[in-house]
Amino acid sequence: MPDCSSLQRSLAWCQGRPELPGVKRRIYYISKYDILKWPTLPHDANGRLIGSAYQGDFTLRADASWKYIDIIPDKSQLTSEAQGEYPSQTQLNKLVAVHPSVGSEATAAAAYLNNNDNVFLVEDMKGAFRVVGSDKWQTKTTVAQDLGQGAAGSASTTINVEASDECPAPFYSGEIVTDDGTTSGTNVENNGGSNTGGNNSGNSGGNSSSSSAPSYNSSVQLNGQTYNVTKGGTVNITGNLTSMRFTGSNMSYLSYKAGTSMETEIAINSAGTSATCNDTISAPKTVKIYRMEGTGDNAVDVLWFTINLTASSSTGGNTGGNTGGNTSGGSSSGGSSTSSGITYNNKVTVNGQEFNTSSYQLPVRVALTSINVTGKNLSDLTLMHLVNGKAVVEDLTISDDKTSASWTGNIPARDVAYVKRVVDGTNKVWFEIEILNEGEEWYDQN
């Protein structure tokens, strides 16, 4: 007998909390042809949608990337309305994006937007990206152009998009590979709450509702590196396993079994949205990850995926891609090592305040003005942030003895900055800095 219990939740709102209207000045788009694999929306066993945030990343064809269009925010708008009849109602998401130019490049946009099935990413004023376009239904895109009238008129190229979906423009916080580099939106981890940016305080009842089945994001972090896992699949890592992080909704039980040892439970936060483990598991070894599926009498503990740890050929320790710095069991100085002998201490100083990078998201207020990182043999440390929607990358200044790196500048509030480092030849995000307004409350997603 299917569990048809209600999925409805309370919807709270804090008095005086600002809800900033509008969209930012840059949108991204790509043809569905260039998407090899879509992220997924969470559903229960009956196929009912239980969240509004995509889980996982868009996997693109080789050499494909998201293209951008700069728009006039005051004239652009994203709306959503219900369509169809019960019990088959869906949402019709509509985007009106006004570009100021009517030149040859803007005119050519009609050629590759009209009659093409596209997906658009629109950033709201809180830094969260919304998806217009679905893998289930075709997206209709039309382009109109107005050269203006008279001396007081205005010229514009208007892109109108209509896309059917299961919910109003789902959130997406995964990787966005663009011509200017890689970025991502604000992480929406409540998977169905009313809040963005990880703020779960207004989610009365929230994801802890026992009536909803557990949902697990396919994107997991092992040794700080992000992997997309599949049920029954295997992940190969060289070196020891020192940290694991999982996200989802209504998660009730996670565990690991290393080799022939006993099954060990992985701690899950009270909201059921995040689980972390910093145990050190030495290579070579096979590690099996188990999770709870179903609810009530139908709940069962099943194998999710397997981690195959192989011995490292280097004395430098873990070469499996430790990009997050979440390795509290690392070196004696509290850092984490890579195969090249580089050590990053997981205690960093931001705006004169000490943080532990195992938290990943580090909150500061008013403006970001300084960063200091310590370690051994430091190299290739960068800071990435957005200026007018465009990614800007700045190098951290590394000391002559390569034991410290620093940055000074001024990045205003309501922005996000990412400190990146090179591991095994690839530039990876190490930790994220959330820049808050004065008096703004921070909600830790962990």
Kindly list the domain boundaries of the chain, sorted by start residue.
Answer: 23-186, 208-311, 326-446
Answer yes or no: same fold for 208-311 and 326-446.
Answer: yes
Give the domain 326-446 fold.
Immunoglobulin-like (2.60.40)
Q: Are 151 and 90 in contact (CB under 8 A)?
A: no
How many residues are present in the chain? 446
Of 294, 327, 147, 125, give the one whose Cα is nearest residue 221: 327
C-beta separation of 25 from 389 below 8 A: yes
d(CA 122, CA 70): 11
Instruction: Note the pLDDT of residue 336.
Output: 54
Residue 423: the pLDDT is: 66
295-312 burial, b at 16+ Cβ within 10 Å, e below that, comes to beeeeeeeebbbbebeeb
- Per-block mean pLDDT, blocks of 10 residues, the chain (446 long): 69 77 92 91 84 89 90 93 91 94 89 91 90 94 91 89 94 86 67 38 36 83 89 90 91 88 83 87 91 75 90 45 36 45 87 85 89 90 78 88 92 85 70 82 52
For 345-360, b where at least 16 C-beta lie within 10 A, e where not — what string? bbbbebbeeebbbbbb
**Res 320: pLDDT:** 38
Specify the pTM.
0.46
State the residue for tokens 């803007």.
106
Beta carbons of 204 and 9 less than 8 angstroms apart: yes
Query: At the topology level of CATH, where does 208-311 sit?
Result: Immunoglobulin-like (2.60.40)
- Say what the pLDDT of residue 431 is: 86
